């Protein structure tokens, strides 16, 4: 399984003891929420959720170039976001704080995951910074420590740190790894940004869905859906149009709070055919679901030399 996941992303590995300036490219894969239920609002204003995460073999890539000083320099920064507020920089500083002799890094991000699409792009980039720099700097933090650090950056970061398909509860941090089918998906994101905060603040959002058990989920004895879909569909016509377009070919669903919608397919060829029918001004890609993230496979390869 490790070798299969590793070959999904082609990169250059440099061991932690490699010379300064060596470049290392790491994957930051997208995810899908196969369902999303909102159980209730918490005292802190956040929501208790249940969802099922699946990692995809499609995503961003991050290049890390080690420096001879302690500066963390982010290239390709997002417009309107100060470097110090960027999740990648914040993640790097969290790892750097555990070093007795801090070292620096240049970070370049090759973006493929659309922003505001419910595919976890920013969270995945942050998780890759945590996992990769922990390895490249030789810090030695374990997975649990990295996941706890990631939760402080965002609710979706821990699932990318752990890198396994998982049933999630709480705000998304209580994860139970599950072995799921690994189908092909056609994923469509219209030219539309859906702010997560707006959807969870919506007064019309359903907040009382009964909780599922894992056994009930696996036995398919309880219906699942996305509680955020009615809110997004009513407020964002572009997302509804994308959902309607995919629904001509099967049971389309929305990931997270949108704007991306997806359709499980029987084969890569079928997914490619459906993708070819989508409007050219939408962000459309075909990807396979994975039970293990290529990020963890890269980290394993670096540790073991495999």
Q: Does residue 156 carry a catalytic annotation?
A: yes
Residues 167 and 217 sit within 8 Å (Cβ to Cβ): yes
CA-based Rg of the chain, rounded to a whole angstrom?
A: 19
CB 177 within 8 A of CB 159: no
Distances (CA, A) of 52 to 37, 99, 158, 177, 238: 10, 35, 14, 10, 25
Out of 31, 57, 125, 227, the active site residue is: 31
Which of the residues 57, 60, 63, 156 is marked catalytic? Answer: 156
Q: From CA 298, how far away is CA 296, in angstroms rounded?
A: 5
Sign of CA dihedral 55, 174, 87, 70: negative
> How is 27-63 classified by DSSP, letter by letter?
EEEEEEEEEEEEEEE-TTS-EEEEEEEEEEEEEEEEE
Does 244 qualify as catalytic in the annotation?
Answer: no
Which residues are known to be catalytic?
31, 156
């Amino acid at each position: 399984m490790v070798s299969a996941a590793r070959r999904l992303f082609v990169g250059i590995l440099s061991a932690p003891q490699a010379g300064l300036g060596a470049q290392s490219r790491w994957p930051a894969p997208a995810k899908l929420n196969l369902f999303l239920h909102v159980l209730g609002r918490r005292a802190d204003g956040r929501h208790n959720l249940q969802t099922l995460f699946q990692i995809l073999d499609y995503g961003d890539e991050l290049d890390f170039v080690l420096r001879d000083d302690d500066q963390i320099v982010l290239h390709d920064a997002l417009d309107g976001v100060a470097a110090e507020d960027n999740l990648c920089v914040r993640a790097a500083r969290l790892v750097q704080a555990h070093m007795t002799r801090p070292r620096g890094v240049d970070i370049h991000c090759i973006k493929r995951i659309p922003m505001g699409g419910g595919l976890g792009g920013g969270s995945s980039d942050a998780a890759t910074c945590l996992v990769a720099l922990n390895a490249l700097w030789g810090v030695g933090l374990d997975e649990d420590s990295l996941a706890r650090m990631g939760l402080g950056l965002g609710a979706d970061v821990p699932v990318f740190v752990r890198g396994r398909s998982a049933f999630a509860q709480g705000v998304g941090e209580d994860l139970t790894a599950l072995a799921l089918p690994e189908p092909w998906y056609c994923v469509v994101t219209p030219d539309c940004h859906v702010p997560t905060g707006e959807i969870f603040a919506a007064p019309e959002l359903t907040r009382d869905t009964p909780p599922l058990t894992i056994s009930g989920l696996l036995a398919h004895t309880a219906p699942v859906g996305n509680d955020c879909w009615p809110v997004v569909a009513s407020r964002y016509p572009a997302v509804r149009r994308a959902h309607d377009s995919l629904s001509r070919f099967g049971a389309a669903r929305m990931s997270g709070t949108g704007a991306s919608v997806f359709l499980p397919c029987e084969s890569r060829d079928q997914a490619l055919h459906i993708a070819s029918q989508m409007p050219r001004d939408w962000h459309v890609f075909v990807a396979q679901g994975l039970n293990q993230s290529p990020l963890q496979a890269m980290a394993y390869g670096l540790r073991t030399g495999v």
